[in-house]
């Protein structure tokens, strides 16, 4: 079956369950395509040989009751995987092989999936274009020399390019939704506390959240159902009743109230984004739901707040990479010299920039003006959503202020790069779930996404809305396989 | 130095200086596992054998609070008569060091688990109250070992992540003696509670000492210096004395004191500058985003309160009332929980017709002497409380004399022997039969007719001679009281 890699996760599971396909068939197909797709640079590390072994083993004694029976899957290289190198896209972890497994990936393997390899990402998930990775740029399957977005750029590229049926990314300020939008796929950032952070290389602890990335909403719901779990090993994990998201998925959203926040109409937003949003509103109405104009007054403070909170936490989280215990170590005259050289050589420019910002905003004399104030604003942003959700069930916005840009186009302009996250960071700051679905193309034929932000723990609702809209939008990703050798 | 009314003042020329001391005591929480991981905390284990992925700060590892350590901290707070904060926050204290794997220490900065409290010290001139500023929970760091190799430093992470309680006093202490009493009192309270073993040799209890001086009568505090990480009471006292005199010398020379952190060199008996205020670390404290604020309910605290044993101050009061002990005696018995336990067990085993005063004298006299000579804690006492009680009863009921009892006690030490058996086997029972004693005395009077006459004529001193003869004749076993009575009658 030559079209195995074109199939959705849901179809593959069905075909394996009714024995039309074996795990080996499927695994082989994705390995073949991955091997031909080196030009995308989506993988940092592959584990193809043992993936095939595992697939064969699965086929010998298949457990078809599992949710992901024998499904091969590559994951972002921010998830620690036992005995498989885990780099977080950084030179400083280039030789790091964990002896442990992240809870999220553990959940995936427990449901029968098989690890294909580790996917490229921005260094320590700091970036919006995958250009900060120590392991090089990732190409967007949509077009040559186009960024896939970031930080889960390798993940987005691998799903859009059909190198893996689905994948997982992490989203601290938009790192799942923005690349999903840039590559024409679906990406869900769950409620903070829904997926365990145990074993995920930390960027900003109060914002980081793992989530699924897939070709369609149903696949996304299925994978989310697998990865979301209460985990006592993560003190911020929340013990709430989790749905069977894929089973309970419905396109009936009649009577739902969807908020349209006027503050997301930002200055200088391209007309095609504005048009896409209007189209989205029409789709909502076509589904029998209602749109209501709302206001989230503190939206404009979200980005500056994010760029204080996230670097502050990162500056502390990344202190452990000091050359003493694991990872890269540079030779030094003494301890301080070793620290300085290790961290100067081991971290890339963007990571160093954020460590500097974070250290600055936490310094005595600046703490109150920056960090403390940012925490207060964060609370206001959350209050905005709480107010809005008294009137509406979910909120519709564009996912990004533009379509994918060219590699190198924004590397020398960090502020313009940071602006990519303008629509996605509020959900992180407020701990709310958000999903990006492909909703159209710009004039260049590049995909554009719409974002649905939900109430906390209300993933089912935004998945349903996305599912209903997906049907109306009927999006087709334009993949030409230009990169295939 | 003058010690008028136990006041500790330092004289220079015509000036008298008062010393102001505040302590930050680091007490290791008595707990099987660490503050945020399940690793063991046993002292003296092989290096790096009690280290989890969390303790070594591997990527993606997260701290999870150990509820037992929280209970221990709250219990200690209750023991310090302190306010328990229902909501406290763990912060990160950021700094780089080879034995600090995370690059930050998880501690409590703005919102500690325990607020203001107090402890009472029994000083020779009466009681003194010392204010407690706060108690907070924090992680210990690992240990850097610099002397194993000329080129490299080795790191042992066994201690990394072990729970500590930092107990900060108000600047209420005024002398090395008060510091001694304060540390001992804290240690006593925590040992009663079972929240810290107080073992200073193993580093379970150590302190940063803040010292400043001011002219006697002044209300303003002087500039203070902090002496880091002193691990014995003796060194604390020496360090304070040295530091106070150093500061006074500076003032007398018209110089100013720099606020700084100093180290105490135990070999040279002096403090040395470690870093000045300008060089102080900027720890960039902020709430640890991996941990939610720690919230405890009223019920949780109440349940712990019900779990608090009788503490030294209450025990002392009870001993004075119930057993009619002097405050001095009561203090000696309650200051160490094991001594108090031993004493109470002796009291219980003595039964109805007991002589508590006698028991106290014997514990603080003979027993303490033996323990001291053998360098034993009372928990290692070679004589059990049960046998000790029997011995006291044997004295009380006249079976043996106090003098014989000392011989018996010495025999008991080897193998915790039953004193009753020793008395029987060695025939040490006191001779209390009046008829036997009368016969014995008759014989002595007969043999010493002349002396008896001299006595009757008024040479009363000779009474002692007859007592001595009677005791000698009985082999020391005669009941001295009966001998007295019979002699008086017969002479």
Active site residue A28: no
Same domain, B378 and B443: no
Q: What is the DSSP letter of A158?
A: H
Residues 6+ away with beta carbon under 8 Å from B321 = none
Q: Which two tokens stand for residue B246?
A: 């150093």
A320 → chain B, closest CA residue = B102
**SS3 readout for A87-120:** CCCCHHHCCCCCCCCCHHHHHHHHCCCEEEEEEC
Tell me the per-residue pLDDT of B102-152, one tens digit each, with 9 for 90 and over. 999 999 999 999 999 999 999 988 899 999 999 999 999 999 999 999 988
Backbone torsion region of residue A83, taken as left when φ is above 0, otherwise alpha when ψ lies between -120 and 50, otherwise beta: left
Residue A420 inside a domain? The answer is yes
| A-proximal residues of B, 124-153, CB under 8 Å | 153
Q: Is A206 exposed, middle or buried (0-12, 13-18, 19+ CB in 10 A)?
A: buried
Q: Which chain A residues are within 8 Å of B104, Cβ to Cβ? A: 316, 319
pLDDT of residue A262: 96
CA distance B184 to chain A (A): 37
A358 → chain B, closest CA residue = B284
Tell me whether B286 touches chain A (CB under 8 Å).
Answer: yes
Tell me whether B414 touches chain A (CB under 8 Å).
Answer: no
A201 → chain B, closest CA residue = B60
Look up the ipTM and state it: 0.96
Which helix (H) or strand (E) is B16 found in, with range?
strand B15-28
Tell me whether A80 touches chain B (CB under 8 Å).
Answer: yes
Please check the confidence at residue B246 and state whether its pLDDT lies above 90: yes
Out of A151, A399, A403, A436, the active site residue is A151
Which helix (H) or strand (E) is B22 found in, with range?
strand B15-28
Higher pLDDT, B170 or B477: B170
Taking every pair of C-alpha atoms in chain A, what is the biggest distance, in angstroms? 69
User: Final residue of a domain: which of B305, B339, B368?
Assistant: B305
Mean of all residue pLDDT scores within chain B: 93
In this structure, what is the dihedral angle of CA atoms A68, A73, A76, A80, given to the nearest 10 degrees?
70
Q: Is B253 exposed, middle or buried (0-12, 13-18, 19+ CB in 10 A)?
A: exposed
Do residues A124 and A88 make contact, with C-beta atoms less than 8 angstroms apart?
yes
Question: Rounded to an integer, what distance in angstroms lies between the CA atom of residue B121 and that of residue B6?
Answer: 14
Question: Rounded to an integer, what distance in angstroms lies between the CA atom of residue A254 and that of residue A146?
Answer: 38
Tell me whether B57 touches chain A (CB under 8 Å).
Answer: yes
Residue A439 to residues A201, A481, B78, B115, B156: CA-CA distances in angstroms?
32, 21, 61, 56, 56
Number of C-alpha atoms within 13 angstroms, CB side, residue B399?
18
User: Final residue of a domain: which of B378, B394, B426?
Assistant: B426
Which helix (H) or strand (E) is B419 found in, with range?
helix B419-426
User: Final residue of a domain: which of B375, B392, B426?
Assistant: B426
Mark yes or no for CB contact B153/A335 under 8 Å.
yes
B56 → chain A, closest CA residue = A325
Instruction: Identify the three-state secondary structure at position A216.
Output: coil
CA distance B279 to chain A (A): 13
Tell me whether A367 touches chain B (CB under 8 Å).
Answer: yes
Number of C-alpha atoms within 13 angstroms, CB side, residue B175?
17
Tell me the per-residue pLDDT of A108-164, one tens digit each, with 9 for 90 and over. 999 999 999 999 999 999 999 999 999 999 999 999 999 999 999 999 999 999 999
Per cent of chain B over pLDDT 90 is: 78
Residue A229 inside a domain? The answer is yes
pLDDT band at B78 (very low <50, low <70, confident <90, very high): very high
How are strands ordered across the β-sheet holding A114-119?
A43-46, A114-119, A72-76
pLDDT of residue A400: 96
Higher pLDDT, A345 or B429: A345
Tell me whether B269 touches chain A (CB under 8 Å).
Answer: no
Number of C-alpha atoms within 13 angstroms, CB side, residue B200?
16
Tell me the per-residue pLDDT of A379-397, one tens digit each, with 9 for 90 and over. 999 999 999 999 999 999 9
Question: Rounded to an integer, what distance in angstroms lies between the CA atom of residue A134 and that of residue A120?
Answer: 9
Number of domains in chain B: 3
A323 → chain B, closest CA residue = B98
Same domain, B287 and B327: no
Mark yes or no for CB contact A316/B284 under 8 Å.
yes
Tell me the per-residue pLDDT of B294-349, one tens digit each, with 9 for 90 and over. 999 999 999 999 999 999 999 999 999 999 999 999 999 999 999 999 999 999 99
Please check the confidence at residue B491 and state whether its pLDDT lies above 80: no
Residue A226 inside a domain? The answer is yes
B66 → chain A, closest CA residue = A235
Least confidently predicted of A12-16, A185-189, B120-124, B299-303: B120-124
pLDDT band at B222 (very low <50, low <70, confident <90, very high): very high
Do residues A377 and A301 make contact, with C-beta atoms less than 8 angstroms apart?
yes
Active site residue A151: yes
**Tokens 């009714």 sit at which residue?**
A18
Q: A114 φ, ψ to 5°?
A: -125, 130
Do residues A156 and A113 make contact, with C-beta atoms less than 8 angstroms apart?
no
Structural domain containing residue B462? 434-490
Residues 6+ away with beta carbon under 8 Å from A353 = A414
Q: Which two tokens stand for residue A91?
A: 């030179």
Partner-chain residue, chosen from A86, A235, A313, that has the shortest CB–CB distance to B62: A235
Same domain, B206 and B335: no
Q: Residue B480 maps to which CATH number?
A: 1.10.10.410
Backbone torsion region of residue B270, taken as left when φ is above 0, otherwise alpha when ψ lies between -120 and 50, otherwise beta: beta
CA distance A46 to chain B (A): 20
Question: Rounded to an integer, what distance in angstroms lies between the CA atom of residue A38 and that of residue A50?
Answer: 19
Please check the confidence at residue A264 and state whether its pLDDT lies above 50: yes
Same domain, B154 and B263: yes
Question: Rounded to an integer, what distance in angstroms lies between the CA atom of residue A3 and that of residue A481?
Answer: 13
CA distance B305 to chain A (A): 27
pLDDT band at A1 (very low <50, low <70, confident <90, very high): very low
Secondary structure (DSSP) of A418-456: HGGGTTTHHHHHHT--EEEEEEEE-TTS-EEEEEEEE-T
Per cent of chain A over pLDDT 70 is: 100
pLDDT of residue B1: 41
Same domain, B209 and B298: yes
Partner-chain residue, chosen from B62, B65, B96, that has the shortest CB–CB distance to A198: B62
Q: Which chain B residues are within 8 Å of A312, Cβ to Cβ? A: 286
Please check the confidence at residue B2 and state whether its pLDDT lies above 50: no
Partner-chain residue, chosen from B56, B62, B98, that has the shortest CB–CB distance to A233: B62
pLDDT of residue B451: 86
Same domain, B34 and B156: yes
Q: Which chain A residues are within 8 Å of B59, Cβ to Cβ? A: 80, 86, 88, 93, 96, 98, 201-202, 320
Same domain, B407 and B441: no
pLDDT of residue B436: 82
**SS3 readout for B8-72:** CEEEECCEEEEEEEEEEEEEECCCCECCCCCCECCCCCCCCCCCCCCCCCCCCCCCCCCHHHHHH
Query: Pairing state of beta strands A257-261 and A394-398?
Result: parallel
Tell me the per-residue pLDDT of A66-86, one tens digit each, with 9 for 90 and over. 999 999 999 999 999 999 999
Q: What is the DSSP letter of A299?
A: G
Range A210-218 average pLDDT: 98
pLDDT band at B6 (very low <50, low <70, confident <90, very high): low
Tell me whether A100 touches chain B (CB under 8 Å).
Answer: yes
Q: Which chain B residues are within 8 Å of A202, Cβ to Cβ? A: 59-60, 290
Instruction: Identify the three-state secondary structure at position B213.
Output: strand
Residue A66 inside a domain? The answer is yes
Tell me whether B9 touches chain A (CB under 8 Å).
Answer: no
Number of domains in chain A: 1
Crossing angle (nearest 10°) for helices B176-193 and B312-323: 90
Instruction: Identify the three-state secondary structure at position A470.
Output: helix
Q: Which chain B residues are within 8 Å of A232, Cβ to Cβ? A: 64
Crossing angle (nearest 10°) for helices B337-349 and B312-323: 30
Residue A134 inside a domain? The answer is yes
pLDDT of residue B433: 80
Same domain, B322 and B211: no
Residue A413 inside a domain? The answer is yes
Question: Rounded to an integer, what distance in angstroms lies between the CA atom of residue A191 and that of residue A242?
Answer: 11
Question: Rounded to an integer, what distance in angstroms lies between the CA atom of residue B490 and that of residue B470?
Answer: 13
Q: Residue A445 maps to which CATH number?
A: 3.90.1300.10
Please check the confidence at residue B224 and state whether its pLDDT lies above 50: yes
Same domain, B63 and B185: yes
Do residues B271 and A186 make contact, with C-beta atoms less than 8 angstroms apart?
no
pLDDT of residue B5: 53
Please check the confidence at residue B418 and state whether its pLDDT lies above 70: yes
Q: B167 φ, ψ to 5°?
A: -110, 115
Secondary structure (DSSP) of A218-245: HHHHHHHHHH----TTSTT----PPP-T
Neighbours of A36 (CB within 10 A): 14
Question: Rounded to an integer, what distance in angstroms lies between the CA atom of residue A51 and that of residue A109?
Answer: 12
Long-range contacts of B264-268 (CB under 8 A, 24+ apart): B264/B227, B264/B230, B264/B235, B264/B238, B264/B239, B266/B235, B266/B238
Number of C-alpha atoms within 13 angstroms, CB side, residue A162?
22
Tell me the per-residue pLDDT of B450-478, one tens digit each, with 9 for 90 and over. 888 888 888 888 888 888 888 888 877 88
Do residues B198 and B204 make contact, with C-beta atoms less than 8 angstroms apart?
yes
pLDDT of residue B125: 87
Same domain, B167 and B250: yes
Structural domain containing residue A97? 4-259+390-473
Do residues B292 and A235 make contact, with C-beta atoms less than 8 angstroms apart?
yes
Tell me the per-residue pLDDT of A404-445, one tens digit each, with 9 for 90 and over. 999 999 988 888 888 889 999 999 999 999 999 999 999 999
Active site residue A237: no
Secondary structure (DSSP) of B471-483: HHHTTT-B-HHHH
Query: Best interface-test mutation with B: which of A103, A316, A364 has the largest number of B CBs within 10 A?
Result: A316
Question: Rounded to an integer, what distance in angstroms lies between the CA atom of residue A327 and that of residue A342?
Answer: 10
Q: Which two tokens stand for residue B367?
A: 């027993």
Question: Rounded to an integer, what distance in angstroms lies between the CA atom of residue A291 and that of residue A82?
Answer: 47
Same domain, B48 and B175: yes
Which helix (H) or strand (E) is B332 found in, with range?
helix B327-334
Query: Which of A97-111, B266-280, B348-362, B410-424 is predicted most confidently?
Result: A97-111
Taking every pair of C-alpha atoms in chain B, what is the biggest distance, in angstroms? 101
Instruction: Identify the three-state secondary structure at position B175.
Output: coil
Which helix (H) or strand (E) is B485 found in, with range?
helix B480-490
Please check the confidence at residue B240 and state whether its pLDDT lies above 80: yes
Q: Which two tokens stand for residue A246?
A: 């894929």
Residue A284 inside a domain? The answer is no
CA distance A362 to chain B (A): 5
Question: Rounded to an integer, what distance in angstroms lies between the CA atom of residue B333 and that of residue B352?
Answer: 21
Query: Best interface-test mutation with B: which of A84, A204, A315, A322 has the largest number of B CBs within 10 A?
Result: A322
| A-proximal residues of B, 76-95, CB under 8 Å | 92, 94
Partner-chain residue, chosen from A202, A205, A322, that has the shortest CB–CB distance to B96: A322
Question: Rounded to an integer, what distance in angstroms lies between the CA atom of residue B310 and that of residue B318?
Answer: 10
Tell me whether B450 touches chain A (CB under 8 Å).
Answer: no
Mark yes or no for CB contact A367/B104 under 8 Å.
no
Same domain, B389 and B335: yes
Q: Is the dihedral of CA A160, A151, A180, A69 positive or negative?
A: positive
Query: Best interface-test mutation with A: which of B60, B64, B92 has the largest number of A CBs within 10 A?
Result: B60
pLDDT band at A241 (very low <50, low <70, confident <90, very high): very high
Q: What is the DSSP letter of A248?
A: T
Q: Which chain A residues are within 8 Å of B103, Cβ to Cβ? A: 316, 318-320, 322
Crossing angle (nearest 10°) for helices A373-388 and A302-317: 130
Query: Pairing state of beta strands B225-230 and B260-265?
Result: parallel
Please check the confidence at residue B252 and state whether its pLDDT lies above 70: yes
Partner-chain residue, chosen from A205, A232, A315, that has the shortest CB–CB distance to B289: A205
Instruction: Identify the three-state secondary structure at position B307.
Output: coil
Mean of all residue pLDDT scores within chain A: 97
Tell me whether B280 touches chain A (CB under 8 Å).
Answer: no
pLDDT band at B4 (very low <50, low <70, confident <90, very high): very low
Mark yes or no for CB contact A316/B61 under 8 Å.
no
């Amino acid at each position: 079956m030559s079209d195995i890699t074109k199939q959705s996760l849901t179809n593959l599971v069905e075909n394996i369950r009714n024995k039309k396909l074996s795990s080996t068939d499927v695994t082989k197909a994705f390995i073949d395509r991955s091997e031909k797709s080196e030009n995308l640079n989506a993988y940092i590390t592959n584990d193809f040989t043992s993936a095939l072994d595992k697939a064969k083993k699965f086929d010998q004694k298949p457990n078809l009751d599992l949710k992901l029976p024998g499904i091969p899957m590559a994951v972002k290289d921010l998830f620690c995987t036992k005995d498989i190198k885990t780099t977080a896209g950084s030179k400083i972890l280039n030789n790091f092989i964990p002896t442990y497994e992240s809870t999220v990936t553990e959940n995936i393997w427990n449901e029968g999936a098989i690890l294909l390899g580790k996917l490229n990402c921005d260094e320590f998930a700091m970036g919006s274009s995958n250009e900060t990775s120590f392991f090089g740029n990732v190409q967007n399957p949509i077009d040559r020399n186009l960024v896939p977005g970031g930080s889960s750029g390798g993940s987005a590229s691998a799903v859009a390019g059909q190198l893996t049926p689905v994948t997982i990314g992490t989203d601290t300020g938009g790192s799942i939704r923005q690349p999903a939008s840039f590559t024409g796929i679906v990406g869900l950032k769950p409620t903070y506390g829904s997926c365990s952070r145990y074993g995920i290389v930390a960027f900003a602890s109060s914002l980081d959240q793992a989530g699924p990335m897939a070709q369609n909403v149903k696949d996304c719901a299925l994978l989310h159902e697998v990865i979301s779990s209460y985990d006592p090993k993560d003190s911020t994990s929340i013990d709430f009743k989790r749905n069977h998201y894929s089973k309970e998925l419905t396109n009936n959203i009649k009577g739902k109230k969807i908020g349209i926040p006027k503050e997301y109409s930002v200055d200088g937003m391209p007309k095609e984004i504005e048009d896409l949003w209007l189209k989205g509103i029409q789709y909502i109405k076509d589904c029998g739901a209602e749109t209501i104009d709302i206001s989230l007054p503190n939206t404009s403070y979200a980005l500056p707040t994010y760029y204080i909170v996230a670097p502050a936490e990162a500056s502390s989280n990344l202190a452990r990479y000091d050359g003493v215990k694991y990872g890269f170590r540079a030779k030094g005259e003494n301890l301080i010299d070793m620290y300085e050289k290790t961290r100067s050589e081991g971290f890339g420019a963007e990571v160093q920039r954020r460590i500097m910002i974070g250290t600055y905003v936490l310094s005595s004399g600046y703490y109150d003006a920056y960090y403390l104030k940012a925490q207060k604003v964060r609370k206001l942003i959350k209050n905005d959503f709480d107010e809005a959700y008294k009137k509406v069930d979910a909120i519709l916005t564009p996912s990004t202020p533009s379509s994918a840009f060219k590699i190198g186009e924004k590397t020398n302009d960090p502020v313009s790069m940071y602006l990519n996250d303008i629509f996605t960071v509020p959900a992180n700051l407020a701990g709310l779930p958000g999903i990006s679905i492909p909703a159209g193309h710009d004039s260049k034929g590049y995909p554009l996404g719409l974002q649905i932000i939900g109430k906390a723990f209300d993933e089912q609702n935004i998945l349903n809305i996305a599912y209903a809209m997906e049907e109306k939008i009927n999006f087709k990703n334009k993949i030409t396989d230009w990169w295939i050798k | 130095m003058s010690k008028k009314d136990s006041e500790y003042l330092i004289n220079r020329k015509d000036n008298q200086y008062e010393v102001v001391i505040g302590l930050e005591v680091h007490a290791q929480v008595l707990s099987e596992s660490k503050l945020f991981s399940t690793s063991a905390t046993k002292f003296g284990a092989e290096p790096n054998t009690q280290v989890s992925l969390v303790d070594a700060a591997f990527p993606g590892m997260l701290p999870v609070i150990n509820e037992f350590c929280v209970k221990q901290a709250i219990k200690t707070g209750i023991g310090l008569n302190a306010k328990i904060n229902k909501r406290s926050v763990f912060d990160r204290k950021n700094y780089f060091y080879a034995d600090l794997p995370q690059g930050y220490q998880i501690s409590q900065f703005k919102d500690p688990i325990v607020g203001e409290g107090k402890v009472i010290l029994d000083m020779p001139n009466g009681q003194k109250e010392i204010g407690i500023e706060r108690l907070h929970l924090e992680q210990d760091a690992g240990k850097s070992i610099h002397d194993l190799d000329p080129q490299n430093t080795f790191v042992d992470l066994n201690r990394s992540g072990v729970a500590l309680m930092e107990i900060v006093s108000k600047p209420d202490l005024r002398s090395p003696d008060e510091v001694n009493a304060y540390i001992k009192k804290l240690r006593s309270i925590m040992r009663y509670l079972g929240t810290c073993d107080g073992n200073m040799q193993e580093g379970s209890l150590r302190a940063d000492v803040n010292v400043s001086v001011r002219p006697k009568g002044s209300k303003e505090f002087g500039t203070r210096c902090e002496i880091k990480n002193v691990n014995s009471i003796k060194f604390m006292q020496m360090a304070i004395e040295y530091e106070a005199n150093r500061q006074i010398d500076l003032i007398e020379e018209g110089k100013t004191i720099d606020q700084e952190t100093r180290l105490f060199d135990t070999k040279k008996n002096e403090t040395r500058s470690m870093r000045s205020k300008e060089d102080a670390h900027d720890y960039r404290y902020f709430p640890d985003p991996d941990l939610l604020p720690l919230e405890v309910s009223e019920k949780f605290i109440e349940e712990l309160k019900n779990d608090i044993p009788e503490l030294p101050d209450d025990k002392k009061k009870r001993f004075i009332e119930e057993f009619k002990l002097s405050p001095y005696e009561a203090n000696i018995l309650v200051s160490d929980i094991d001594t108090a336990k031993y004493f109470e067990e002796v009291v219980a085993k003595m039964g109805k017709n007991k002589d508590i005063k006698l028991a106290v004298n014997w514990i603080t006299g003979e027993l303490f002497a033996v323990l001291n000579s053998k360098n034993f804690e009372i928990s290692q006492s070679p004589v059990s409380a049960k046998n000790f009680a029997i011995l006291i009863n044997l004295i009380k009921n006249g079976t043996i004399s106090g003098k014989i009892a000392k011989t018996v006690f010495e025999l008991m030490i080897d193998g915790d022997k039953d004193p009753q058996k020793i008395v029987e086997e060695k025939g040490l029972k006191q001779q209390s039969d009046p008829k036997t004693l009368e016969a014995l005395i008759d014989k002595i009077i007969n043999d010493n007719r002349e002396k008896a006459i001299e006595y009757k004529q008024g040479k009363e001193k000779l009474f002692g001679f007859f007592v001595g003869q009677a005791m000698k004749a009985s082999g020391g076993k005669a009941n001295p009281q009966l001998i007295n009575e019979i002699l008086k009658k017969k002479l």
